[in-house]
Amino acid sequence: MSTVPAAKARCVRDASAPALPPTVEGRECSPEEFEAKRRNGSYYLDDLWKIVREFPSAHDVTSAADLPQLAERLRSAYRDVNYTVCDASARFDGLTHCTQLAQAWAQLVHDARHSRTLYLVRRTAANSGPLLALQRIEHLRHQCSEWSPLALIALVRDEQRLWPRHEVAAEPELEETLGALVRASSDCPVCGDWLGAQALTAYACGHPVHEACYKRLMVASSAPTCPLCRTDDVAAPDTPLPEAPPAAEDAAPRPGNMPTETFSRQMAALAAVMGELDVEIDDGLKGSDDRIEELVPMEELERVEETA
């Protein structure tokens, strides 16, 4: 599944395909067009690449930032917070069926939630169909614009961000945004809980910490030592971090991570459906998560299985 099937490249010019909502590149769609997109989802079930023809500039996978080199540039920057960076773009190469997309996306979300890794997914010529299908799904959830084709997805812990091409900033700004995402998804070096659960401040060295944890350390020492780099603070920070999340009592609850056993059972069930539909299964993927229901509702899979 490393190359784009020739049939998928031709689908943009398939004169026999049914009428679809007009492209919305460069403008916002009307409520009627939005509803038409929602109703038209079943058209892409067995061929995700049909959606490519709705994006006239889909052949252009460039953006304001040098995305192919992004993961390499970020790896050294995140070592100090014990995070790795992985370019997962190839996981979506050549996928054609909606269940393949559900399998690949669910595994990626699961991996992100259970590791200290920033996953990056770039839209390329080999994965354009599946990535545009993901963009449509998030667009229908009011989480992503279709003003331009999707360029980049970032996943870290429970956070997922999608950038259409027109929203991708040049390298310094984009890397700063991703850095803030990683820092907020790290653990407090004092208590070990997720940093995003409480308001933040930082040591003089720049490492973030829960503001409440820092205040407790200040009771014992006027210059507490950073547990990560052992740097002594000369004084307490004057202000919290610029992008500090809300305090715990105001913060939204974090979604629970699916237990590995349940995760494996759901992926096995999805693989069984794929087998019945004679869809190629990626044996390297072992799990799923609760977003399978968002990508491919089980009742829709059951309907497809009954009519296959």
HEC string of 112-180?
HHCCCEEEEEECCCCCHHHHHHHHHHHHHCCCCCCCCCEEEEEEECCEEEEEEHHHCCCHHHHHHHHHH
Lowest mean pLDDT: which of 127-131, 164-168, 272-276, 282-286? 282-286
- pLDDT above 90: residue 19: no
Lowest model confidence (mean pLDDT) among 16-20, 150-154, 162-166, 206-210: 16-20
pLDDT given for residue 189 in this prediction: 80
Q: Which of 22-26, 144-148, 215-219, 285-289 reaches the highest mean pLDDT?
A: 144-148
CB contact at 8 A, 223 and 247: no
How far, in Å, CA of 153 to CA of 162, rounded? 5
pLDDT at site 37: 87
Backbone angles phi and psi of 119, in degrees to 5? -95, 130
pLDDT tens for 34-44 read: 888 888 888 88
Secondary element (H or E) of residue 85: strand 84-87
Q: Quote the pLDDT of residue 23.
A: 75
Measure the N-to-C terminal CA separation of the chain; round to a whole number of Å: 23
Instruction: Give the tens place of pLDDT for each residue, 127-185.
Output: 999 999 999 999 999 999 999 999 999 999 888 999 999 999 998 999 999 988 887 77
Lowest model confidence (mean pLDDT) among 51-55, 168-172, 267-271, 280-284: 280-284
Q: Above 50 in pLDDT, residue 252?
A: no
For position 193, what pLDDT does the model report?
72
Structural domains in the chain? 6-167+258-307 (no CATH), 188-255 (3.30.40.10)
Element of type H or E holding 260: helix 260-276
What is the chain's mean pLDDT, rounded?
78
Least confident of 83-87, 132-136, 238-242, 283-287: 238-242
Task: Flag whether pLDDT at 257 surpasses 70.
Answer: no
0.75 surpassed by pTM: no
Whether the per-residue pLDDT at 305 is higher than 70: the answer is no
pLDDT at 78 over 60: yes
User: What tens digit of pLDDT does each residue of 83-142 get?
Assistant: 899 999 999 999 999 999 999 999 999 999 888 899 999 999 999 999 999 999 999 999
CA-nearest of 127, 119, 108 to 70 is: 119
Q: What long-range pairs does 42-45 form, CB within 8 A, spacing at least 24?
A: 42/300, 43/18, 44/98, 44/133, 44/136, 45/97, 45/98, 45/300, 45/304
Model confidence at 58, pLDDT cuts 50, 70, 90, reads very high
pLDDT for 234 beyond 70: no
